[in-house]
Structure 1
Amino acid sequence: MRRSASRAVRYPGPERATAVQALKAAGAAMLAWALAAFWIESPMALMAPWTALVLVDSTVYRSLRAGAQQLGVISIGTVWASVAMYLTHGSTLPAMAVSLPPLMLIAGYRRLGAHGVYGATTALFVIAYGAYQPWQVGHRLLETLIGALIGLSVNACVLPPVRLAGVRAGLHALAVECGDLLQGISDGLKHPWDPDQADAWEGAARRLHRSVQAVGRARHLAAESTRLNPGRRMRRGHRTPHPPPWLDRQWEDVVHHLTALTHTLSGIAARSHTLSPPTETFTHDYAALAHDLACLCADQAELIARHDEGGDEQQERAVASWKRYEQLLGKVHDQRDRAATAVSGGLLISIRQVLIALAPERAEG
């Protein structure tokens, strides 16, 4: 908590964005309660701060969409509960039996998301407080409208959230994780490896798919955060260029082929399907190639962080990696064991696909 608080104060980033949204939500709730309690003199003044608190969402577009959904759901819950109280002559349990089952069915509607349950909870407030007279129902709806307007206004006008840094941060983290996995494989292949170590590599490769999905979610959130958002124009001069979408596909390919590579290594370690291990010389050369690819991943991570397109040093490293691969390819046929040759060829196919994803220009040449 101390580290997160320190980062929120010292640097822009997700910690500061979370703190800003929390303060905005609290301020919106307090303002909504003050208006509902003192302006319209509501006897409960509960719906206004509750609605305002929920509607300070991660993007302005989500706040607008959630506001429409919540107004509709709360209105349905309020009216339905009031009718149930009239039909049951103000009896609490019978009114719950009449109103809660259908409202919970409505809450399960997929498009309402997390806001669907607010209809049932609003009905509980109306029934528990016995506030079902027409003027009381009107107060509930007016409070909800006040809370929605304040929540939307605060989120759209006070430091409106523009989520543009998540894609670059996610791609940088993914490049670093791929490099760490390749470096771990390189270090492990220099010594005899066991099934547990190979399974750990395979598990790490599978976990990389979560990072790929996180990048996709971040790109979706970044696109959504600019919709109907006045902060997009206010911060245009301070924005850095967005990473191109082809980078997402590039690292998705890297992760896919790393998963295949680690699966083959796991099968070799377990001797599954009579897989024969490659020669020691081939394994050591393969470890050196994995190290080169780890360095390529580190270069890519640095370029993503610096918003750069690369230079001569990165090109030279890519050319050297392809030369090492071609040399290793020439040594495959020197192995006497045909089964070992087949396994070596499978490993080379997987690492070649990773190399193509990281250095496609050299592959085309």
Structure 2
Amino acid sequence: MNPVRRLRSSSRTPFLQVVKTAVAVVAAVLLCELLIRGPFPTFAAIAALLVVQPSINQSFVKGLERSAGVLLGVVLATGVHVLLGDAVWIVLLVVVLAILLAWALRLTPTSATQVGISGMLVLTTGVVTPNYSADRILETLVGAVVALVVNAVIVPPVLLEPAHLAVARLARDTAAAFERIAVGLTEGWDHEQWHQALLQARALRQQHGRTEAALTSARDSLAMNPRGGRHRTILDRDVAVAEHLRVLVTRVTGMTRAVRDNTAPDLRADPMVGRIATEVARIGSDVRRLGAQIESERLTPGELAEGPEDTALEHALTAPLAVVRPNSRHWVLIGALLEDVRRVREELLGEDD
């Protein structure tokens, strides 16, 4: 693998975040120039660079981590300098002590790194400057606060759309998995065809994991966000749909595996199998309509506020299937499929066990 490729991300940072980072750095430096007379406010610029994050909640956390690391590092370096003086080996000692202190306190990687960096900078560039330690702490706080304010004021990020579309895609692909079962039962697929269908069904589990991660990011972007209130309703609905889809993904995977493991050339000849295929096709239709409904919902603020609250579907499912005389050859598979259809039906209709 080309090592240069590791330097590049698979996706580009939104340009708005780049602009906000630049504005935060400039504002933090200019404010420190007014408040603190001294050398270039490096700590403020670094804090602003690190604190502007994809969400306000992440910015707040980064600000706390950065400030805590600087405070510990500056206090540690100042105390060691007062006790032991100024020498090269003192700098090395402070770095080692900073590493041990971060480990003992179980600090996050950001705070742990900042303790050592701050302590080293204090001893190498600040020991001859009056009030250097206090000024560096103040610089960091100014940079962190400015970055947090800039991130909150200039179009606070809302990561709802990627999560919304991820839920819609998961519903669509889950519907396709049910439809494959219906087609396979109708056409009489062989073992290899069912195996390929099973691989596609199993891939839904990873897709559901990615959808959950997108929903977590969306929820995180709404925390402490002044724009978050009007978006939370649709996010809560997406989270509820994703939970239903988690159950359906498990069911469709189990159904596909059951058919793959127990399929036979004469399976399609059983009348009950045809009825099951029809019901599974209706399940796929319902789930596909659910995905289309989610995808069609607009995420603009006005339409969110005015959107309909009732998102119930008119289901295509019929009454539960009943077997009068079980097939002596395929009764295990048919029974398993009937039970899965019953459970999926309950999940879609919201019926109690």
Shorter-chain TM-score above 0.5: yes
Residue 122 (structure 2) pairs with residue 132 (structure 1): no
Alignment deviations for residues 315-338 of structure 1 (CA, whole Å, 9 cap, x no partner): 2xx2x4224x52xx437x34122x
Shift of 1:137: 1.8
Matches of 1:139 and 1:350 in 2, distance apart? Answer: 67
Residue 333 (structure 2) pairs with residue 343 (structure 1): yes
In terms of mean alpha carbon deviation, does 111-120 or 147-156 score higher? 111-120
Matches of 2:215 and 2:18 in 1, distance apart? Answer: 25
Shift of 1:151: 0.9
Residue equivalent to 1:81: 77
2:171 to 168, 175, 184: 175
Gaps (5+ residues) in structure 1? 1-14
Superposition map of 1:2-17 within 5 A: none
Residue equivalent to 1:45: 41
Matches of 2:253 and 2:37 in 1, distance apart? Answer: 66
Matches of 1:73 and 1:91 in 2, distance apart? Answer: 23
Matches of 1:158 and 1:250 in 2, distance apart? Answer: 32
2:191 to 168, 190, 193: 193
Matches of 1:152 and 1:165 in 2, distance apart? Answer: 23
Aligned 8 A contact 2:177 2:200 in 1: yes
Shift of 1:200: 0.4
Alignment deviations for residues 60-119 of structure 1 (CA, whole Å, 9 cap, x no partner): 344334323422221111221233344443333443234434445426756746444322
The residue type equivalent to 1:291 in the other structure is A
Check 1:178–1:32 CA distance in 2 against 1; reply closer, same or farther (3 A cut): same
Aligned 8 A contact 2:21 2:52 in 1: yes
Aligned 8 A contact 2:51 2:147 in 1: yes
The residue type equivalent to 2:209 in the other structure is R
Check 1:241–1:122 CA distance in 2 against 1; reply closer, same or farther (3 A cut): closer
Matches of 1:108 and 1:210 in 2, distance apart? Answer: 34
Check 1:217–1:47 CA distance in 2 against 1; reply closer, same or farther (3 A cut): same
Residue equivalent to 1:203: 202
Superposition map of 1:99-138 within 5 A: 99-106=95-102, 109=105, 112=108, 114-127=110-123, 129-133=124-128, 134-138=130-134
Check 1:216–1:286 CA distance in 2 against 1; reply closer, same or farther (3 A cut): same
**Aligned-residue RMSD, C-alpha:** 3.6
Count of paired positions: 325
Aligned 8 A contact 1:90 1:130 in 2: no
Residue equivalent to 2:4: none
2:127 is paired with a residue whose SS is coil
Gaps (5+ residues) in structure 2? 1-10, 298-307
Matches of 2:49 and 2:174 in 1, distance apart? Answer: 40
Check 1:278–1:151 CA distance in 2 against 1; reply closer, same or farther (3 A cut): farther
The residue type equivalent to 2:282 in the other structure is D
Alignment deviations for residues 162-185 of structure 1 (CA, whole Å, 9 cap, x no partner): 455455334323322322332344
Aligned 8 A contact 1:74 1:118 in 2: yes
2:28 to 25, 32, 50: 32
Aligned 8 A contact 2:24 2:146 in 1: yes
2:268 to 280, 294, 301: 280
Looking at secondary structure, tell me which structure has more helix per residue: 1
1:141 is paired with a residue whose SS is helix
Alignment deviations for residues 164-213 of structure 1 (CA, whole Å, 9 cap, x no partner): 54553343233223223323444444322336425404422322440452
Aligned 8 A contact 1:193 1:269 in 2: yes
Residue equivalent to 1:144: 140
Matches of 1:39 and 1:293 in 2, distance apart? Answer: 66
Alignment deviations for residues 214-234 of structure 1 (CA, whole Å, 9 cap, x no partner): 3651463255143xx3x45xx
Matches of 1:108 and 1:201 in 2, distance apart? Answer: 47
